[in-house]
Structures are given as structure tokens and as C-alpha cells.
Amino acid sequence: MFDIRGFGDQLWAGTLVTIELALASLLLGLVLGLLGATARLSGNRVARTISTAYTTVIRGIPELLTVLIIYFGATTVLMSVASMFGYDEYIEVGPFAAGVVALGLTFGAYASEVFRGAIQAIPKGQQEAGLAIGMTPLKIFWRITMPQLWRLALPGLGNLFLVLLKDTALVSVVGLHDIMLKTRDAVSYTKEPFLFYMAAAFIYLTLTIISMVFIHYMEKRNNRWVGRA
């Protein structure tokens, strides 16, 4: 492992935390995005309203504010709910959990629009054909819509993940020991901001390049049969 003024291990530990945060937020965001897209396209008016409100509110608030609101607000909400059941102990939401929720909500709001566009790009005749042969709507979704959905949505989701990866730096403001917080600690100790911020930039750039290579591989793999006779 590289070492910079004795802080190499610290930067590596921060890198692992950043990767864990990004992947956990991605998983939550994909679930929320898929639920939001299906709700937006459903015939249920209440579901459409909730989905529209979710995407509008989250996309209209800066990610940093979302992190701060979740971090400081979740504790208050949880303690209020717990007090209704007679629990009076202090409940603290950690920075990692708050970051996952905040970034997952943000990713999901944008991903829902990507999923919605991908679903609408699938010819309706395929769904009608599924109904004609006796398939249930749920079975049509899993057997016909989902396999094509990932292929169509992957480019947009890949771009959103690259943004998510860089947005993980925002969670350092609430005390998460990620790359940025470890970098600030090193700068405070060594008084060499240029060196360590350039090192942090190199780490983020490396993670981005690795992600881009993986996304390109997945796109190529999911499109390997497209256009073949």
C-alpha cells in the first residue's frame, strides 16, 4: 500500500469506507428507483402521487442538505416514535447509516426517472402478448420487462453511480471517516493541503475509472445479443 507522510493506511481505510458507502447507497437507491418508477406508471393515483412527490422533493434539495436533514432529523424522529412505546433511551443514527439513507434516497429519485424511461421504451405489444398467453402482470414484469429494463437503464444508472461515488464525500461533514475526512485529518497534522488533496483526487479518479470500466463491461455484456439475427 502506498504511504504518504505516514498516512497511507488512513487513506486506504477511508477509501474502503467510501466504497462501502457507495455500494450500500447504490443498492438502496436501485430498490427505491424501481419502486418509484413502477408506482409512477401504475394505475393507482395514490402511488403516482407519492412517487411524484418523492422525486420532486428529493431532486429539489441539495444533496448536502439531505445528508444533514437525515443525520440530525432521523434521531429526533426515532426517539419520538420510541417514546410512544415507552422507550426513553437516547437513539443515535450513525454517519454511515445517515449517509446510506441520504444518498440512497437521492440516487433513487433520479434512478426512478431512468427506470421509467426504460420501461416506456419497451414495446407495449410484448406485454399484450404476455397477457394473451395467460401470463399474470407480475409474471410479465419479471419475465419480459425486467430483463430488458436493465439493458435499457444501465447507461443512465452508470452515470448516476459515478455522481453518487463523488457525492459520498459530502457525508464527511457529519463525521464519517471516509476519504475526505481522513484527508482533512492528514492536512491538519502535516500542513500540506496540496499534497493530500491531490492524493484524494487521485483516489477518486482511480475509483471512477474502475467503475467506468465495469459499467462498460456490463453494457457490452447486456447488449451482446442485440442486433443479431
Look up the CATH number of the domain holding residue 39.
Answer: 1.10.3720.10
* pTM, two decimal places: 0.89
pLDDT band at 150 (very low <50, low <70, confident <90, very high): confident
pLDDT for 226 equals 66
**Is 11 among the domain residues?**
no
Work out how many domains the chain is built from and give that number. Answer: 1
Asked whether the predicted pLDDT for residue 99 surpasses 50, the reply is yes
Report which of 121, 200, 117, 110 is spatially closest to residue 158, judged by C-alpha positions.
110
pLDDT for 164 equals 96
What is the Cα–Cα distance from 133 to 42, expressed in whole angstroms? 22
pLDDT band at 126 (very low <50, low <70, confident <90, very high): confident
**Is 26 among the domain residues?**
yes
3-state secondary structure 48-87: HHHHHHHHHHHHCCCHHHHHHHHHHHHHHHHHHHHHCCCC
**Is 49 among the domain residues?**
yes
Mean pLDDT across 100-114: 96
pLDDT band at 140 (very low <50, low <70, confident <90, very high): confident
**Is 228 among the domain residues?**
no
pLDDT band at 103 (very low <50, low <70, confident <90, very high): very high
Mean pLDDT score across all residues of the chain: 89
pLDDT for 204 equals 96
Domain that holds residue 131: 16-222
What is the Cα–Cα distance from 93 to 74, expressed in whole angstroms? 7
Asked whether the predicted pLDDT for residue 227 surpasses 60, the reply is no
144 Cβ contact partners less than 8 Å away, ≥ 6 residues apart: 122, 126, 127, 130, 135
Handedness of CA 181, 162, 62, 80 (dihedral sign): negative
**Is 8 among the domain residues?**
no
What is the Cα–Cα distance from 118 to 152, expressed in whole angstroms? 5
**Is 133 among the domain residues?**
yes
pLDDT for 229 equals 45
| Range scoring the smallest mean pLDDT among 28-42, 52-66, 140-154, 159-173 | 140-154
pLDDT for 44 equals 87
Mean pLDDT across 201-207: 95
Asked whether the predicted pLDDT for residue 82 surpasses 80, the reply is no
**Is 65 among the domain residues?**
yes
Q: How many residues does the chain have?
A: 229
Asked whether the predicted pLDDT for residue 120 surpasses 50, the reply is yes
Asked whether the predicted pLDDT for residue 108 surpasses 50, the reply is yes
**Is 53 among the domain residues?**
yes
Residue 165: Cβ within 10 Å count? 22
What is the Cα–Cα distance from 158 to 219, expressed in whole angstroms? 9
